[in-house]
Amino acid sequence: MLLEVKGLCVNYGRIEAIRDISFTVEEGEIVTLIGANGAGKTTTMKTVSGLRPVRAGSVVFNGQDITHLPSHERPVLGISQSPEGRGCFVGMTVMENLDMGTYARPDRKSKAVKDDLERVFELFPRLKERSNQAAGSMSGGEQQMLAMGRALMAKPKLLLLDEPSMGLAPKLIQQIFDIVTEINSQGTTVLLVEQNAAQALKRSHRAYILETGEIVREGTGKDLADDPAVKAAYLGGDV
């Protein structure tokens, strides 16, 4: 088991954002968390990456309990996040942003990093074209590609993708999901938070549905996509 979350509870002050949730991600999977705004999806991601403290429960990654491990130490273990809102360093160039993704790598001066950069450029040719351009001057779609590319430069065992399609045009959304599938096929395990449930379930091995901080349903991507209740609530009646 690559990631195992057990009985996780997270608060914002007195507000319970996540209540006793448990889920797993196995190596090689795409696992998606879907749910309405405020369901606790992003809080879950931030907790896995160490950005939110845990009130109760545990997070175990690759056999190691990381529940209270500082966030800056988690990339060293193999967890990397492309955050909601992209979080690009807007005053830095594309190349500088990508280089920031390597900061935790012990081999950051090696040929392996150059190979990973080439892989990122193959996945996102636009980034190679704009390598010397300031991130803040690029479109939303290009910044999303940059956020994902930067996360990949950490060479993660587990890639956390939080709302990668948010605010993008339909054609670009399809492209982003194609790239997510390709990243996974190349061997990277993906935990995905996504409001575009139709696309997410189509690409996922398994998925969990969150409502008001609790997991209310789980299953394979196909089973949930075919479920009439899920279709009505999240898929506009159809996939």
- In this structure, the answer to whether residues 93 and 148 fall within a common structural domain is yes
- In this structure, the answer to whether residues 68 and 125 fall within a common structural domain is no
Number of domains in the chain: 2
- Bridge partner residues of 159 (DSSP): 80, 190
CATH number at residue 55: 3.40.50.300
- In this structure, the answer to whether residues 148 and 161 fall within a common structural domain is no
Cα separation, 26 vs 73, in Å, equals 21
- In this structure, the answer to whether residues 147 and 162 fall within a common structural domain is no
Mean pLDDT of the chain: 94
The residue type of 180 is V
Which residues of the chain carry a pLDDT beneath 70? 236-239
Maximal CA-CA distance, the chain = 52
- In this structure, the answer to whether residues 9 and 69 fall within a common structural domain is yes
pLDDT at position 109, please? 81
Question: Is residue 65 a part of any domain in this protein?
Answer: yes
Cα separation, 138 vs 142, in Å, equals 6
- In this structure, the answer to whether residues 22 and 132 fall within a common structural domain is no
pLDDT at position 236, please? 67
- In this structure, the answer to whether residues 129 and 119 fall within a common structural domain is yes
- In this structure, the answer to whether residues 149 and 166 fall within a common structural domain is no
- In this structure, the answer to whether residues 131 and 206 fall within a common structural domain is no
- Bridge partner residues of 8 (DSSP): 21
- In this structure, the answer to whether residues 111 and 167 fall within a common structural domain is no
pTM over 0.85: yes
Question: Is residue 199 a part of any domain in this protein?
Answer: yes
Question: Is residue 18 a part of any domain in this protein?
Answer: yes
- In this structure, the answer to whether residues 102 and 165 fall within a common structural domain is no
Cα separation, 64 vs 2, in Å, equals 10
The owner of tokens 């996939």 is: 239
Cα separation, 185 vs 89, in Å, equals 28
pLDDT at position 235, please? 82
Question: Is residue 83 a part of any domain in this protein?
Answer: no
pLDDT at position 17, please? 96
Q: Domain range spanning residue 50?
A: 1-78+157-171+186-239
Question: Is residue 122 a part of any domain in this protein?
Answer: yes
pLDDT at position 239, please? 40
pLDDT at position 171, please? 87
